[in-house]
């Protein structure tokens, strides 16, 4: 937490993927004030959304925040720590099922189910990460893929607990014992998700900017050098993995309460894959970029998808291909162009990019 006040780590969002401060100390304070303005505006607009958006778009925005939170947790792993996981949905699924079970058998009253979901996600990551984080490259990909597949298979097989392929129905969000009034349910659910999202995003933001977060970036960029500096990369990566699992579980818990149905696909590879797609679309390593990437994915898949006569997946694929060509660093790349049009710095996480500049 102390790192937030430290001038040398006061990195503006768009260059968040770098471990080195971009601007001299003299301008950094003004920058920090200016930099705080856009998030504040966005937050105010988001808070008032139910007053001017109709129910369907509000519902979609709720889903964007839920899946966006999940994408940020994956970014903590992929963009910040450099661990490209193919099975991150496992922890989302663990959280979703935990929230469903808690809401069903104990209390659907917020925030108990999501807190239990976050705890369950973290515990699952403690158990599996210990093995996964020791591996590198393709082995890490394969191990995380296996973890994801095993989790969704377990959800399918343990049908006495999980309902198998029919999934589990979840009671709607409520505070206390009474459900929300039907007329305002969508708006209240949205605000609830927004509050959890903001708190969790701020927490991940602070983690990413803390000395611990800087060490993670260091490990991502050059693990050998970090080791020679006296760091123990395994310990750092393991903690990052557990944190990411916990936040993924939190997002899963929110999902269960919003979607009100949890099924094995919610822990499956498809979710991990579209979330990686959101990271690529938005710009990995920036934390906020993946939320925008996820917004595109959710809007194409859930808002327009059902009306496209079955061409939803195709459109999503086309968007992806275009994005890779036009926005090689995602939406975060656009913001980078806006901010520093002349002295663009190539700190992309794509290795080939640096040499090309």
- Residues lying near other proteins in the complex (CB under 8 A): 50-60, 63, 156-157, 159, 163-167, 169, 182-187, 190, 259-261, 263, 265-266, 270-271, 299, 301-303, 305-313, 326, 328, 334, 337-338, 341, 353, 356-357
State the Cα–Cα distance between residues 243 and 240, nearest whole angstrom. Answer: 5
Of residues 136 and 345, the one with the C-beta less far from other proteins: 345
- Minimum separation from the CB atom of position 82 to other proteins (A): 22
- Residue recorded with tokens 């595109």: 296
Of residues 33 and 54, the one with the C-beta less far from other proteins: 54
- Residue recorded with tokens 């990909």: 141
- Minimum separation from the CB atom of position 193 to other proteins (A): 13
State the Cα–Cα distance between residues 46 and 68, nearest whole angstrom. Answer: 14
- Whether 170 contacts 97, CB under 8 Å: no
- Minimum separation from the CB atom of position 75 to other proteins (A): 21
- Minimum separation from the CB atom of position 147 to other proteins (A): 18
State the Cα–Cα distance between residues 173 and 139, nearest whole angstrom. Answer: 40
State the Cα–Cα distance between residues 313 and 171, nearest whole angstrom. Answer: 30
Of residues 190 and 205, the one with the C-beta less far from other proteins: 190
Please tell me whether residue 168 adopts helix, strand or coil conformation.
Answer: strand
Of residues 127 and 273, the one with the C-beta less far from other proteins: 273
C-alpha distance across the termini of the chain, in Å: 35
- Minimum separation from the CB atom of position 277 to other proteins (A): 15
Residue among 253, 219, 224, 257 at smallest CA distance from 236: 219
Of residues 48 and 139, the one with the C-beta less far from other proteins: 48
State the Cα–Cα distance between residues 131 and 73, nearest whole angstrom. Answer: 19
- Minimum separation from the CB atom of position 265 to other proteins (A): 5
Of residues 21 and 164, the one with the C-beta less far from other proteins: 164
- Minimum separation from the CB atom of position 172 to other proteins (A): 8
Q: DSSP assignment of 211-262, as one string? A: HHHHHHHHHHH-HHHHHHTT--HHHHHHHHHHHHHHHHHHHHHHHHHHH-EE
Of residues 229 and 314, the one with the C-beta less far from other proteins: 314
- Minimum separation from the CB atom of position 133 to other proteins (A): 28
Mention every residue, 6+ apart, whose C-beta is less than 8 A from residue 349.
17, 79, 82, 220, 284, 285
Of residues 1 and 183, the one with the C-beta less far from other proteins: 183
Largest CA distance in the chain: 62
């Amino acid at each position: 937490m102390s790192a937030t006040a430290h001038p040398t780590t006061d990195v503006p969002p768009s260059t968040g993927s770098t471990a080195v401060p971009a601007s001299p100390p003299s301008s950094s304070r003004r920058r920090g004030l200016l930099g705080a303005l856009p998030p504040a505006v966005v937050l105010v607009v988001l808070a008032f959304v139910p007053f001017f958006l109709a129910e369907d778009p509000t519902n979609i925005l709720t889903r964007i925040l839920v899946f966006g939170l999940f994408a940020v947790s994956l970014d903590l792993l992929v963009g910040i720590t450099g661990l490209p996981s193919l099975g991150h949905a496992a922890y989302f699924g663990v959280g979703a099922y935990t929230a469903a079970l808690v809401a069903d058998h104990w209390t659907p009253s917020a925030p108990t189910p999501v807190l239990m979901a976050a705890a369950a996600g973290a515990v699952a990551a403690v158990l599996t990460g210990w093995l996964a984080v020791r591996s590198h490259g393709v082995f890490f990909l394969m191990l995380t893929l296996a973890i994801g597949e095993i989790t969704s298979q377990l959800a399918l097989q343990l049908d006495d607990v999980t309902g198998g392929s029919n999934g589990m129905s979840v009671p709607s969000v409520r505070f206390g014992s009474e459900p929300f009034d039907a007329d305002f349910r969508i708006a209240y659910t949205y605000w609830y998700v927004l509050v959890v999202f903001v708190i969790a995003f701020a927490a991940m933001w602070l983690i990413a900017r803390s000395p611990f977060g800087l060490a993670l970036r260091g490990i991502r960029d050059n693990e050998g050098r970090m080791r020679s500096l006296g760091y123990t990369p395994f310990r750092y990566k393991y903690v990052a993995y557990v944190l990411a699992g916990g936040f993924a579980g939190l997002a899963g818990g929110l999902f269960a309460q919003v979607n009100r149905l949890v099924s094995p696909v919610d822990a499956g590879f498809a979710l991990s894959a579209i979330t990686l797609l959101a990271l690529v679309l938005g710009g990995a390593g920036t934390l906020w970029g993946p939320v925008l990437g996820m917004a595109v994915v959710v809007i194409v898949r859930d808002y327009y998808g059902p009306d496209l006569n079955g061409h939803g997946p195709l459109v999503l694929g086309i968007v992806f291909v275009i994005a890779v060509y036009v926005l090689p660093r995602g939406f975060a790349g656009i913001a980078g162009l806006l901010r520093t049009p002349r002295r663009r710095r190539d700190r992309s996480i794509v290795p080939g990019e640096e040499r090309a500049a």
